Homo-oligomer: A and B are copies of this chain.
């Protein structure tokens, strides 16, 4: 195992390069007896696929998932779920010019140095195309969470220097998919659509933040000491391409507060123990406390831009890298289902692990 598996009980092992024959994965530890809505899984994939709007890459990836095992008469059997997504529209020639180039802030250089060999076509294994496999596993995880009344919702909350002026508690999740930016606010979404289009015309890219909220999470998920629920969420998010930051609950702002302000007093609300505030972000001592889990994830601007840049090639010569191809000026809208997927995978894993806690 060399880093291509996540999860201890509910796990995804993924494989595939962006321009090979197919990408795919194996979901192991999926409980038996889950009646799957296969159409819903495809819909999640569609949320991630390129070409949804002019804001994102115009590549036409069909991203049709094919299940090969583990599902019998639409029901999970408890055996591993193998699946593939064929790579179509794979113009490998598009990448011939970068065969010996190290594109700035891409993984070209590090892969080449680590492995001594590089499948240069479209970023190979380092391409975000791999995240489609996560969306498949995440879509199944979300259906399992649904059965337990747990809801995972992510949305774009910042683009470049601009931020949504709403707390997670004020957001109407129904608005998320109403616009191509996946911003749950019509006005702010319109502004950002214009902004990103401007960025695109300039041949540049822009980063931002995605916020995620988990409601209905049962108390008790997460293991001390190292496998705290927040620690596993942090890892899951940082395993997504282009992520540069993660903060839970009060986050970096919370670090500026005093303890007397930050502490969340417990109250008894009609027989249910809850907290007056939720700076903890739904996790205390690494274990979910039943309140909303919410966090922000920072994404850097994507490295592929349409401007010329300086770099070096494999022999160390300084070169110019030409912007070329079809790429995303802003990856955020497509990253929303990925953040949800990684969150759902992590939660289901801990849901199962928690079953072994008490005698």
Q: For residue A2, which residues in chain B have a CB less than 8 angstroms away from its CB?
A: 9, 28-29, 78, 80, 223, 227, 353, 356-357
Whether B250 pairs with A247 at a CB distance below 8 angstroms is no
Known contacts A33-B116, A225-B14, A305 near B260 by CB under 8 Å? yes
A190 at the A/B interface (Cβ < 8 Å)? no
A250 to B242, CA, bound (A): 11
Q: Which of A251-273 contact B (CB under 8 A)?
A: 251-252, 254-260, 262-268, 271, 273
Q: For residue A205, which residues in chain B have a CB less than 8 angstroms away from its CB?
A: 258-260
Which residue of B111, B209, B266 contacts A255 across the interface (Cβ within 8 Å)?
B209
Whether A247 pairs with B244 at a CB distance below 8 angstroms is yes
Whether A81 pairs with B15 at a CB distance below 8 angstroms is yes
Copies in the complex: 4
Q: For residue A318, which residues in chain B have a CB less than 8 angstroms away from its CB?
A: 267-268
Q: Which of A270-304 contact B (CB under 8 A)?
A: 271, 273, 275, 279-281, 283-289, 298-304
Q: Which of A125-172 contact B (CB under 8 A)?
A: 125-126, 130, 144, 147, 158, 160-161
Q: Which of A195-248 contact B (CB under 8 A)?
A: 199, 204-209, 219-220, 222-228, 230-239, 241, 243-248
Say which one of A52-60, A67-75, A181-189 lies at the interface with B. Answer: A67-75
Which interface residue of A233, A279, A311 has the most chain B CB atoms within 10 A? A311
A42 at the A/B interface (Cβ < 8 Å)? no
**Closest chain B residue to A289, Cβ basis:** B110
A20 at the A/B interface (Cβ < 8 Å)? yes
Q: For residue A32, which residues in chain B have a CB less than 8 angstroms away from its CB?
A: 115-117, 357-359
Q: For residue A230, which residues in chain B have a CB less than 8 angstroms away from its CB?
A: 238, 243
A7 at the A/B interface (Cβ < 8 Å)? yes
A54 to B284, CA, bound (A): 27
A289 to B69, CA, bound (A): 25
A51 at the A/B interface (Cβ < 8 Å)? no
**Number of A interface residues in the complex (CB < 8 A):** 156
Between A and B, 23 residue pairs with Cβ closer than 8 Å are A1-B7, A2-B353, A3-B28, A3-B223, A4-B223, A14-B26, A23-B69, A33-B116, A77-B115, A78-B117, A105-B279, A109-B273, A110-B283, A110-B285, A160-B255, A160-B258, A207-B262, A209-B252, A245-B247, A257-B300, A265-B309, A266-B311, A273-B312
Whether B252 pairs with A252 at a CB distance below 8 angstroms is yes
Whether B287 pairs with A33 at a CB distance below 8 angstroms is no
Taking the closest CB of chain B, its distance from the CB of A106, in whole angstroms, is: 7
Listed from nearest, the 3 A-B pairs whose CB atoms lie closest are A107-B285, A3-B223, A3-B227
Whether A228 pairs with B33 at a CB distance below 8 angstroms is no
Whether A29 pairs with B239 at a CB distance below 8 angstroms is no
Whether B234 pairs with A238 at a CB distance below 8 angstroms is yes
Known contacts A80-B13, A115-B32, A231 near B225 by CB under 8 Å? no
Q: For residue A17, which residues in chain B have a CB less than 8 angstroms away from its CB?
A: 69-70, 72, 77, 79
A98 at the A/B interface (Cβ < 8 Å)? no
